[in-house]
Structures are given as C-alpha cells and as structure tokens.
Amino acid sequence: MQTQILKGNVKRNIHVAVDLIRRGELVAFPTETVYGLGADATNETAVAKIFAAKGRPHFDPLIVHVSSFSMLEGILKEIPDKARILAESFWPGPLTLVLPKREEIPDIVTAGLPTVAVRIPQNKIALNLIKEAGVPIAAPSANIFGHPSPTCADHVIQDLGGKIALILDGGATQVGVESTVVDLTHSPPAILRPGGVGRESLEDILGGVTVFSGMNEEVLKSPGQMKQHYAPRAKVLLFQGKCQKKIIAAMRETINKLNKGYNIGVMVPEEMCFHFRNEKVILEGLSSFTDMNAVARNIYTKMRLLDGKKVSHILVLAPPEQGIGLAVYDRLFKAAGSQLVEVD
C-alpha cells in the first residue's frame, strides 16, 4: 500500500481523510501530544486494522477521541461531575478519562473492559477530522507497538509507511509525550499513565489522586502497562542519584567499560554536555531540566535520532519527577526496561 502524506489543515485534506475513515481505513493524524493512528471507533473491522498495523496485543485498549461533549454522551453511560470539572479545566488537551462505556463501543476498542478511555485533543486537524467524520475516532499512538511514540509525520513513516493509507501532516507536536490517563472509576481517581497534565494540576482539582507508577502488582494488572515500552532499539541506561558529580563519574565509568566495542549515545541537559566532550560518545543534548516542557517535546525525537546513528546503548540522566517531568521519567524508565542505575 502506498502511504499518502497530506500537509496542513486544509479542507481538501480533511475530506480525503474522512472518506477513508468512513470506508473503514486507517488515517494517522496529529494531536497536541503525539501522532495518533485513527479508525472509526464504532467499526470493529476498522479498529482491528489498528491492532494489525501496530502489532499491538488485543488486551491493550484504545483511547477514543471526540470533538465535543455531545459526542461523548453517545459513548459514556453517564458523565460524572468530576469528569465535567476536569474537562472544563483541561479539554481540549492532554488528559484522558476512563469511565463506564455504553454498548455502542465495540469490545475490541476497550479490550473487553466495561470502561472506555476518552479525550478531546487540542489540535485543529484532529478536531476537524473527528467533527467532519461525525464518529468518535479510536486512536493509539501511530508507532509500532513498543517503539517510541511519533511526534512528527516522519516518525510515522519510519514505523508505518506502506502499511496505512494516509498521514495528515501537521508538523511537530507541541507536548511531545502522551496524555495523562486518569481512571475515574477508581477512588480516589488513579493516574494509570502520567502524561501532559501533571499530577499536581490534577490534585489541585480532585484533592488526592493515586499514581500507579513503577512496577507494583496493581500496575501490572492494569492494561497496557509493560515493563519495556516506548523503547528505542538501543539499550537505555537510566542514571539517577542525588549528587550530579557522582552521576557524571558513574556515566563516564560505564562509557569507558562499554567503549571497547560499542557506539554509545548520551542524553543529558545541554549545560552538562561539556563533561562528555572528550569521551567517545554521540551526544544528544536535552533542554535544561528547568524547562521540562521543552525536554518532553523532544524526548522521543532524541531517542529516534540516536537509534538512527546506530548506537548500542543510550546513557540518560533521570529528570525530576514533577509536573510533566513525571511523564518524561516514566517513558525513560519504561524505555530502560523498568530498571535504574542508582548512584549514591
């Protein structure tokens, strides 16, 4: 199959996409977080194509994207007050809510669960596509299952070129990591996946929330939580510790051990890069950790860049786990196969 790429938020492009969605085909489209791989959420056969194209296991449920509250009413049993308040604060935006579903949403979308994950994305192309199609759009990230998520059309081509009919190209995404998934059927509400909306902002509104992060039993029971995920081909080594000097020393020691036969990539904030200038490594500077939004925006691109340079290992400094930093930390931790190199 030839994959067509159409650039910009143009009516003609949206029409081509809508036509494909109505015919049960897949369309990749930009959201503010990452690119999604969309299909008509009410069409089982179309949704099945998503799982096939991505190589995604059927036990991992999809997010259903809508463009309005009225569309939501056709999907959810009811819209509780908590959902309304969160929606008012964060939609359109990088927040996904898990709530009891109506029967109209086929089981394949929700992996047989009685709940469905929903969100209104903040991207004009995405919103026009959903509105014009007139149906909710089920969409996971538009990458091969387990790979880093795509933040530009080029990444989608790398993973799914030749497998899907169309990519709507809206340039690079603004947030760079996926939406925060919040389960509102859990009490207190539970963050199943940290993302673009920080835990602190949710707590300001909800009071307490539970975070299912790390790899405790509860997390492993919730769908879609794998020990290894969002991972580049290279082996990721995530360094964490209180003392920056010691971390740098530990990283350099690791580099010296590995340098014997490997190409090594290093991801640290720009201002720390000079510590590695004399090492035989490929440096990919991150934005300063005082600007975590910028770090988040580029994190998947940097992983893909280092993979493109054929490194065998990527050494990376763990970011602080506040705000969107928690999501960046989570993705790096999963990319590292849920392992840390702790330096004390």
The residue among 72 and 272 lying less far from ligand TXA, judged by its C-beta, is: 72
Residue nearest to ligand TXA (CB): 224
> Is omega for the bond preceding 80 within 30 degrees of 0, making it cis?
no
The alpha-helical segments, DSSP class H, found in 259-324 are 292-308
Nearest to 54 by CA among 213, 164, 189: 164
From the CB of residue 158, how many other CB atoms can be counted at a distance below 10 Å? 17
**Mask: binding to ligand TXA, 53-82, rule CB under 6 A, as x and -?**
-------xxxx-------------------
Rounded to 5 degrees, what are φ and ψ at 264?
-120, 135
What secondary structure letter does DSSP report for 2?
P
CB of 149 to Mg ion, least distance (A): 5
The residue among 97 and 268 lying less far from Mg ion, judged by its C-beta, is: 97
CB of 297 to ligand TXA, least distance (A): 13
Confirm or reject binding of residue 173 to ligand TXA (CB under 6 A).
no
Pair 38, 21: CB distance under 8 Å: yes
Q: Could you give the 3-state DSSP secondary structure of residue 308?
A: helix
The count of chain residues that interact with ligand TXA, using the rule CB under 6 A, is: 28
Q: Which of residues 106-125 bind ligand TXA (CB under 6 A)?
A: 110, 113, 115-117, 121
The residue among 47 and 264 lying less far from ligand TXA, judged by its C-beta, is: 47
Pair 315, 239: CB distance under 8 Å: yes
Pair 180, 191: CB distance under 8 Å: yes
Torsional sign, CA 177, 306, 232, 317? negative
CB of 242 to ligand TXA, least distance (A): 31
The residue among 193 and 275 lying less far from Mg ion, judged by its C-beta, is: 193
The count of chain residues that interact with Mg ion, using the rule CB under 5 A, is: 1
Q: Which of residues 254-283 bind ligand TXA (CB under 6 A)?
A: none
Q: Which of residues 96-155 bind Mg ion (CB under 5 A)?
A: 141
- The contact set with Mg ion (CB under 5 A) reads 141
